[in-house]
């Protein structure tokens, strides 16, 4: 039996997501994603916002991150299992869905492991465009895991960074990132210490994966005037920066109720002042105010960024072949006749 169009939901597999990225071009897609994310941050107040719904276990966490703008509903399924790499699995995998609020019918199901890497990098660079010192050209990239090359490429595409200085506690990770970044128009320097990576850098991105209170940056390592893009501190008990740096910085966050629990600021008093990034973008709060200020984007990832990324993918898919159609929804001729549909399928 051929399902009707109403039953079909476009599905973007990992393979099709990669094809879509190459079809659009990775840098163009990062710019496009940043535009969609920025547009949604600008209308931030309109969204249903709830902290993620987390199911914790000894091994990790599985989360559902729903949101809605009143017309479209979206959610992401994402896990975080730091020990997965030991058995050759990804630490983080994800998929997401968009649906019409008016009917509840899904309109897109998509892999989001690759897409999340793209949206995280696009969000970081979009934030830096508002917060980093003018004319920044050099970024220190500390932590050279799965997210690092996406960060470097996004900062090139969106902020005009042309030099990246890579450091990881594992030189193999740094070598891998340097290999991957060759030929992308970035001047890549591999460094033997975090200090070395920060020489001449106006932007410092930290993206390490330890699930524990770590001190990737100590207070005396960070001079005035830089922008810190802190990606790795993103769950309770996992931070990267010394509290002293936080106290010298102006801190920008996505959604305070979530960041207070998951971000770098879990180390600070619960009433330590922070600025919501959307207010900077909407023009209701200042971003960078002076050349010697330290700005810090304490990023943990928020549902609206996934929503924006799925919206972007849905819009780009139109007219392309980069999707399969899943027979996900039952669509009997008469909505009251589900049983009849089932019976006829057997006949």
Q: Which is nearer to a copy of itself, 289 or 339 (CB)?
A: 339
Q: Does 282 bind a copy of itself (CB under 8 A)?
A: no
Is 293 near a copy of itself (CB under 8 A)? no
Angle, CA 25 vertex, CA 20 and CA 28 arms, to 5°: 115
CA distance 215 to 233: 10
Q: Whole-angstrom Cα distance, residue 206 to residue 310?
A: 26
The single residue among 27, 35, 49, 62 that binds a copy of itself, judged by CB under 8 A, is: 62
Residues 161, 151: Cα–Cα separation, whole Å: 11
For a copy of itself, how many residues bind (rule: CB under 8 A)?
84
Assess whether 337 carries a catalytic annotation.
Answer: no
Q: Say if CB 103 and CB 90 are below 8 A apart.
A: no
State the Cα torsion 47-232-312-71 to the nearest 10°.
-20
Q: Is 28 an interacting residue with respect to a copy of itself (CB under 8 A)?
A: no
Q: Pick the binder of a copy of itself from 24, 97, 122, 141 (CB under 8 A).
A: 97
Supply the minimum distance, in Å, between the C-beta of residue 271 and a copy of itself: 28
Structure-token match 């209701």, residue found: 284
- Bridge partners (DSSP) of residue 140 are 165, 204
**Least distance between a copy of itself and beta carbon 111 (Å):** 6
Binding segment for a copy of itself among 68-76, 187-195, 196-204, 226-234 (CB under 8 A)?
68-76
Within 168-187, the residues that bind a copy of itself by CB under 8 A are: 173, 176-177, 179-180
Which lies closer to a copy of itself via its Cβ, residue 65 or residue 274? Answer: 65
Using rule CB under 8 A, residue 320 touches a copy of itself = no
Residues 327-346, interacting with a copy of itself (CB under 8 A): 327-332, 334-343, 345-346
Scanning residues 116 to 135, which ones bind a copy of itself (CB under 8 A)? 117
**Beta-carbon contacts of residue 31 (< 8 Å; ≥ 6 apart):** 122, 157, 158
Distance CA 33, CA 305 (A): 9
Helices (H), 209-346: 243-248, 256-262, 277-282, 303-317, 338-346
267 near a copy of itself (CB under 8 A):
no
**Subset of 147-166 contacting a copy of itself (CB under 8 A):** 147-150
79 vs 279, beta carbon nearer a copy of itself: 79
Stretch of residues binding a copy of itself (CB under 8 A), selected from 73-81, 126-134, 221-229, 288-296: 73-81
Catalytic residue among 15, 69, 219, 234: 234
Q: φ and ψ at 112, to 5 degrees?
A: -135, 20
Residues from 199 through 258 that contact a copy of itself (CB under 8 A): none
**Which residue in 36, 44, 95, 167 binds a copy of itself (CB under 8 A)?**
95
Determine the Cα–Cα distance for residues 192 and 33; give it in Å rounded to an integer.
33
Q: Give the integer Cα–Cα distance in Å for 114 and 306.
A: 12
33 contributes a contact to a copy of itself by CB under 8 A? no
List helix spans (H) across the chain: 14-24, 26-42, 113-131, 148-159, 171-181, 194-197, 243-248, 256-262, 277-282, 303-317, 338-346
Task: Report the nearest approach of a copy of itself to the CB of residue 209 (Å).
Answer: 9
Catalytic residues: 234
């Amino acid at each position: 039996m051929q399902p009707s169009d109403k039953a079909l939901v476009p599905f973007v597999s990992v393979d099709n997501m990669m094809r879509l990225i190459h079809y659009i071009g990775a840098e163009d897609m990062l710019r496009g994603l940043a535009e969609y994310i920025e547009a949604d941050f600008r209308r931030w107040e309109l969204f249903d916002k709830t902290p993620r719904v987390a199911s914790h276990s000894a091994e990790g966490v599985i989360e559902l991150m729903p949101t809605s703008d009143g017309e479209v509903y979206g959610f992401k399924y994402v896990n975080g299992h730091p020990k997965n790499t030991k058995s050759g699995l990804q630490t983080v995998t994800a998929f997401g869905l968009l649906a019409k609020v008016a009917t509840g019918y899904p309109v897109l199901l998509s892999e989001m492991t690759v897409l999340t890497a793209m949206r995280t990098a696009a969000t970081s660079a979009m934030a830096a465009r508002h917060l980093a010192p003018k004319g920044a050209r050099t970024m220190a990239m500390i932590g050279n895991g799965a997210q690092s090359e996406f960060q470097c490429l996004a900062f090139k595409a969106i902020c005009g960074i042309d030099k990246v200085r890579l450091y990881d506690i594992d030189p193999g990770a740094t070598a891998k990132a340097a290999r991957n970044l060759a030929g992308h128009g970035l001047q890549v320097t591999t460094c033997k210490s975090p200090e070395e990576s920060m020489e001449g850098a106006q932007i410092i991105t930290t993206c390490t994966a330890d699930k524990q209170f770590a001190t990737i940056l100590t207070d005396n390592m960070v001079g005035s005037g830089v922008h810190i893009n802190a990606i790795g501190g993103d769950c309770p008990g996992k931070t990267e920066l010394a509290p002293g740096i936080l106290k010298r910085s102006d801190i920008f966050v996505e959604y305070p109720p979530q960041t207070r629990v998951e971000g770098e600021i879990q180390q600070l008093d619960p009433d330590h002042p922070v600025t919501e990034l959307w207010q900077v973008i909407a023009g209701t709060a200042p971003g960078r105010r002076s050349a010697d200020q330290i700005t810090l984007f304490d990023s943990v990832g928020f549902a609206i960024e996934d929503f924006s990324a799925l919206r972007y993918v849905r819009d780009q898919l139109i007219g392309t072949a980069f999707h399969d159609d899943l027979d996900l929804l039952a669509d009997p001729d008469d909505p009251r006749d589900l049983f009849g549909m089932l019976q006829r399928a057997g006949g």
